[in-house]
Every structure is written in C-alpha cells, then in structure tokens.
Amino acid sequence: MSQPALRDETRRSLLRRLAARPWLCVGLPALLAFVLAALPTLVAGPPGPVAHDEWGYLLSADTFAAGRATNATHPFWVHFESVHQFHTPSYQSKYPPAQALFLALGQVLWHPILGVWISVALLVGALVWMLLAWMPPRWALVGGLLAVALYVLQGEPYPGGTQAYWSQSYWGGAVAATGGALLFGALARSVARPQVSSSVLLALGLLVLANSRPLEGLIVGLPAAVYLLVWMLSARSPGWAILLRRLVLPVLLVLGSGLLAMGAYNQAVSGDPLELPWITHYRQYCVFRTLVWQEPAPDRDWRHASLRAFYGGYELAFSERYHDLRSYLTLSLKKLANWIFFVGPVLAVLLLYVPAILRRGWMRFLAVPIVLILINGMLSFSVLPHYSAPAAGPTLAFLVEGLRRARAGRRHPGGVGRKFYALLLVALVVAAGLGLKRATDGVAASQATRRNRFERRFEEQPGEHLVLVTYAPGHAPEDAWIFNRADIDAARVIWARDMGEEGNRALLEAFPQRHVWRLTVAGRGQPVEVEELR
C-alpha cells in the first residue's frame, strides 16, 4: 500500500473508532469548544460587558445567583433607571431567563463568563448529537468541528462588532441554538423510534427556546410540531398505545411543568403569570414598532432626557428606517448579510450545492425553519445573529451536507471534489486561527471601554462609592452608564442619575458612608470629567 493510501486508511480507521463511540463524537468537540472559548480569558482576563443588552442579562444572572427570581423596587429607583430594565412592579431586566441562568451558574462557580463557555460547549455537543440522527457519525463529527469554528470563534458580521460574541460576551445565542438542536435532534429520533428519553429532550428543547428566544422559538417549533403531528396520524407511526406512552405523555409532562415554572417566574417579575417581562418593559418605555407594518406606540412617561433620547430617538430610528420600498429592500439585504455568521466566509461557497442538498427529504424539511426565520428577519425592525440562533442547527446540517456533496465530487472528474473539500478544510482552520486571535483582541477591547475602566477604578479604591452620572451635550444615547447589581445597596459601586442638588439630597442622605463622585460623560472619544463631592 502506498504512503498516501496508508495515511488515508489510518485517517478513516480513526474516524471509524470515534464513530463507534457516540459519546466521543459528542464530547470531544464540546470539550474543544470549551477550551477555545476559555483561551482568550486565560490570556487577557474576563471580557467586560459592552452592549447594553449584556448588562440586562448580567442583572438577571446576579439576581438568580442570589437565589431570587427578581428584586424589590428600590426606594430611589428613579435614580437607577436604565435601558432594558424596569423597576416596577419589581427590579429586573426584560430578557427571558435562560441565558441568564447559565451566567448565574458561572457566577456561582467563579465568573459569569464561565457560564458562557459552558453554554457554547453544550451547544456544540447538542449539534453533534442532532447531526448523528441524520447522517453518518464521521460527518456529525465534522459538523461539530464546523460548529466550533462558527459559533465559538466567529464575531458579529459587521465592522466593529464584538469578536467571537457567542463565546466572549454575555448576550450570545448559544443557549437558544442549543434549544433548536435538541428540538430537531429529538424530532428525528422520535420519528425513527419513539423513546421517552427523546421525548423529554424534545420538550426540553421547546422550553429552552421559549425562555431564550420566544418568538423565533415559536417560528421554528411550529413546523416541527406540524411534521410530528402528520407523522403521528400517518400509517408509518407505531400506533397510539406506543405514542401515548413514549411520546405524548412525556412531552406533556415536561412541557406542563416548564410552563408552570414560567408562569411562576412571570408572576414574580411582572405580577401576571401570562405577561412576559419583555411586555412589562415595552409598556413602560418602548415606542418602536416590532413589525414593519405597525405604528409606533405613543410616547411613554420617560423621567430622564437620556431615556427619551434612547427609546424615543435611537431605538425608534431603527424602526423608522423602512420609510419606502427602496429603504426596506436595502435594509433587508443587510439583514441577509448577517447570515454570514452561520455559514462563515469560507463555507458560503457550499450554498452552491443547495439544489443537490434539497434532494434529501430531511434537508427539505430543515429548509422550512430556516426560511421562516429569514422571513421573520425581513419583517422585524432589527435582527442580529443571536436572534436567529434557533435555526443554527438546521443551517449547520445544510453546511455538512454541502461538504458531503463537495467531498463526493460527482461533478468533479479527476478527484477535483476531494481537493476542493480539502482546500475548504484548510481555509477553515486558518480562519479559525485568525478568529481566536481576534477573540483575544476583542476581550481586551471590551475591558477598555470607558465605563468598564471607571468601574475598575472605583472598585480598586478603598471604601464604597456612589457615582452620580450626568450626560453632557453630544453624549450618544446608546452609551448608557447607569447599570447596577441586583442588590443595589450592597454593591461597592452604585451608579445613579444626577438629578440636581435638590433631587440628589435624599439619595445622598440614604448613603452617608459612601464616597460620592460626579461623572460628566460627553460623546465617545471625549474626556470624562470627574469631581469628588464627598
């Protein structure tokens, strides 16, 4: 046997041994994802929150880590109002709890970023488990490696975005994507052979979606539910006795328990078991249109000019960009460009194989949630890649099937297909290496933002501090600084709005032992004025 043939046989033998052990197929890529996600922090330290959404998730995580569902309204809550949070009827962020639960786990063990690494590792493992239901194990393993390159090391698909933002930020989409992977992996197994374990994971996937990206989770869950119902009513199903025992009852039991827990959480946060925190926040602060045909809501009772500028200016401007057909089409194309995150600049060439991929029945079904998520993106006023995370699993399946087609090389005589496949893998490895370098640079950049620098500056000084923030003319409304811990009174640094001498008097009297500072924050790139008041 020639040397190249021997190397090829050795490689195949290794893949066969891995394929014979599904737990290795799932566990090795997951472990790799965790290690690569942790490397930037080991080099540069934990990333700092940058996007205002991240502060909202961290508030919920801090709350859950303390063993509470929400926080009582603070007596001076008007001083602490901020974006994406509300203070009545309780003090909590607007976001669903699933992402924050992982951050809380990380905070209890060490630091919230640890929860992010755990979530991306679970995502990669869940994606491999999903692919094992549809394709040979060695290709599921390849899919796991692709997932590491895409979802662990890749950044936002626009200049200046956070690098590796699913693994190095606090608002990524790994949790929602895991819910989608569990749903579609369990669906395939339930149709092939109903088992209680698959049914439990199917219901768990739905609950993860409902508590991470509810709207997008509903969008991908509906075609899965229709497919499952049609199959149950078809002649191919094993009969209702088996279906009730192995599928229907386990799903209903898990879903019912999850819905009761969701209702209890909503009751604690919003005072209504049927009202999501997002709705509570929207009613108090937001005016933007959620879908392109809607009208903006009436102005709210904003108590601060900066909140008016954010909700009634910055956010509203996003939804007002669709003022004519040309603007709508232009912005829709930009939204489609976000999908480079899910296919990568290297693997985008595999879209050429879509007609061949769609010849497989499962691939045609998986195209449905992808198309529905794309349509939702066209109708929503803003879409980032983590909004579309529930469709990450089906999209990865398309990529792996495209690689299989490229590897087969049926249309490439002389082995061109295999050479093309090898070239893609080499390019992917290079892109992953560059992504790891950018991820580390992005972590360092997140720590260097103005607010994060001042947070560290105050924490490094002795005693406790109260920081009064004034926004000067030229300040960007999205550059918010007023973010606090769940237990505001116990925080070493409290951030509050400067409401003038008379408006601040009661607040200052409530914290007589704290050092008091006034920060005057102007536009980005401008110096921050610091004044010690007490």
pLDDT band at 343; cut points 50, 70, 90: confident
Report which listed range, 18-27, 196-205, 231-240, is most confident: 196-205
- In whole angstroms, what separates CA 86 from the centre of its chain? 21
- The crossing angle, in degrees rounded to 10, of helices 174-192 and 196-210 is 150
* Predicted pLDDT at 117: 97
Report d(CA 65, CA 106) in Å as an integer: 9
Contacts of 326 (CB under 8 A, 6+ apart): none
Q: What is the pLDDT of residues 42-56, one digit of tens each?
A: 899 999 999 999 999
Is the pLDDT assigned to residue 220 strictly greater than 80?
A: yes
Q: What is the pLDDT of residues 258-299, one digit of tens each?
A: 999 999 999 999 999 999 999 999 999 999 877 666 778 888
Helix (H, G, I), strand (E, B) or coil at 410: coil
Report d(CA 93, CA 91) in Å as an integer: 7
* Predicted pLDDT at 300: 93
Report d(CA 243, CA 462) in Å as an integer: 64
Report d(CA 521, CA 477) in Å as an integer: 11
* Predicted pLDDT at 414: 46
In this structure, of 18-27, 73-82, 187-196, 213-222, the range with the lowest mean pLDDT score is 18-27
* Predicted pLDDT at 160: 46
Dig out the tokens for 241 from the structure: 């006795």
Number of residues in the chain? 534
Over range 404-432, report the average pLDDT: 70
Query: Hey, what amino acid is at 517?
Result: W
Identify whether the C-beta of residue 268 lies closer than 8 Å to the C-beta of residue 90.
yes
Cα separations (Å) of 97 from 60, 182, 322, 338, 392?
7, 18, 31, 25, 20
Is the pLDDT assigned to residue 175 strictly greater than 60?
A: yes
Token pair 């979802």 is found at: 151
Over range 407-423, report the average pLDDT: 63
Identify whether the C-beta of residue 361 lies closer than 8 Å to the C-beta of residue 414.
no
* Predicted pLDDT at 2: 57
Report d(CA 383, CA 3) in Å as an integer: 51
* Predicted pLDDT at 194: 96
* Predicted pLDDT at 207: 98
- In whole angstroms, what separates CA 411 from the centre of its chain? 38
Identify whether the C-beta of residue 328 lies closer than 8 Å to the C-beta of residue 322.
yes
Is the pLDDT assigned to residue 424 strictly greater than 60?
A: yes
Report d(CA 29, CA 22) in Å as an integer: 12
The pLDDT > 70 percentage for the chain reads: 91
Dig out the tokens for 324 from the structure: 């004519």
The mean pLDDT value of the chain amounts to 89
Q: String of b and e for 112-128 (b: at least 16 CB within 10 Å)? A: bbbbbbbbbbbbbbbbb
pLDDT band at 4; cut points 50, 70, 90: low
* Predicted pLDDT at 416: 53
Identify whether the C-beta of residue 407 lies closer than 8 Å to the C-beta of residue 399.
no
Report d(CA 429, CA 209) in Å as an integer: 31
pTM of the model: 0.94
Cis peptide before 112 (omega within 30 of 0): no
* Predicted pLDDT at 371: 93
Could you count the other beta carbons within 10 Å of the beta carbon of residue 433? 12
Nearest alpha carbon to residue 394 among 233, 187, 166, 245: 187
Over range 326-333, report the average pLDDT: 72
Dig out the tokens for 317 from the structure: 């401007």
Is the pLDDT assigned to residue 417 strictly greater than 70?
A: no
Is the pLDDT assigned to residue 232 strictly greater than 50?
A: yes
Over range 64-88, report the average pLDDT: 98
Is the pLDDT assigned to residue 152 strictly greater than 70?
A: yes
In this structure, of 140-149, 414-423, 453-462, the range with the lowest mean pLDDT score is 414-423
Is the pLDDT assigned to residue 147 strictly greater than 90?
A: yes
pLDDT band at 159; cut points 50, 70, 90: very low
Pairing of strands 515-521, 465-471: parallel
In this structure, of 126-140, 220-234, 427-441, 456-470, the range with the lowest mean pLDDT score is 427-441
Q: What is the pLDDT of residues 93-130, one digit of tens each?
A: 999 999 999 999 999 999 999 999 999 999 999 999 99
Q: What is the pLDDT of residues 464-481, one digit of tens each?
A: 999 999 999 989 999 999
